[in-house]
Homo-oligomer: A and B are copies of this chain.
């Protein structure tokens, strides 16, 4: 493996000049640049990134931290994020952490070890950023939660208006004539009754708020069943919910995978969706279009979320552009899982 020494020797210049060429500095003669680039190409020379990072104390990589590998939606955002990073000629490495782990604590580790020049959080609780994030001074972007108002000038955020979208989805159920609506998924808050601020809590808040606006009361004890973001949990929770409160005619599930689990549960209970009970999901995962019945859902715009996040991060890194916070429009997708309730 050639080193910078070899390139210097073979090109007839010093390692300092070679280094300047590698780093695209302006203060190099055209002649030197030409020659050195030639040798670099010939030798297929790749600078040792460890040495660079040791000196610069910053790597040329971006680190992506994704929480919850099981989230189909976040995985699609991850894929699109990687692609966008690649389009800019940058590279990113990915760190997975568990559903319950603290992404900011992880980020502190990553910054120390990998010295990334930028950080992308895929999924995350605003809660964890509240104070912990002050330890991080690398340009960062939080995807899928709103970090506006946290006051960090190195943290952008792009998210879906979870509260508004949930309200919209429930509004559609109400418009179809549903009055007995159940909510499935997430965890409404801690024992003190305070809601946490993750996307699940926001969706619940939006849904309950919309019901209230329509003069429909919501009884958490009967009409709500919490569960994790998986089909399996959605299945079980849906079963519990409907056994407990059989007169529900519509279900708002906090995610598509839960909705899919719920639909399967209802079928296994001998019910038909949407004839006997309507189900609306959230996310707009690819699979929703191929399920039977096709899922009616809120489709988040994963591609735009990914694109804007990467672009904003790169602008912060390269030009010191200010952090920005944006909500990306969602779409209500009419599938086949919602109908008017039976009379």
Contact = CB atoms under 8 A, between A and B. Distances in A.
A95 to B, nearest CB: 7
B261 A46 contact: no
A96 B82 contact: yes
Contact of A96 (B79, B264, B291, B294): B79
A78 interface: yes
Contacts of A267: 292
A50 interface: yes
Interface in A99-139: 112-115
Contacts of A194: none
A287 interface: yes
Nearest to A109: B46
Contacts of A263: 290, 292
A1 interface: yes
A261 B48 CA distance: 46
Contact of A54 (B54, B232, B286): B54
A231 B287 contact: yes
A46 B114 CA distance: 12
Contacts of A50: 50-51, 53-54, 59, 115
A321 interface: no
A46 B78 CA distance: 29
A128 B260 CA distance: 38
Contacts of A112: 1, 46
A327 interface: no
A334 interface: no
A174 to B, nearest CB: 26
Contacts of A49: 113-114
A214 interface: no
A290 B260 contact: yes
Contact of A75 (B75, B232, B235): B75
A176 to B, nearest CB: 22
A69 interface: yes
B287 A260 contact: yes
Nearest to A70: B79
A93 interface: yes
A315 interface: no
A94 interface: yes
23 contacts: A1-B112, A46-B113, A50-B50, A50-B53, A51-B54, A54-B54, A69-B78, A72-B72, A75-B75, A82-B96, A93-B93, A93-B94, A94-B94, A231-B286, A260-B287, A260-B290, A261-B290, A263-B292, A264-B294, A267-B292, A291-B291, A292-B292, A292-B293
Given A48-B54, A51-B54, 12 more contacts: A49-B113, A50-B51, A69-B75, A69-B78, A82-B96, A94-B94, A260-B291, A263-B292, A264-B291, A291-B292, A292-B292, A292-B293
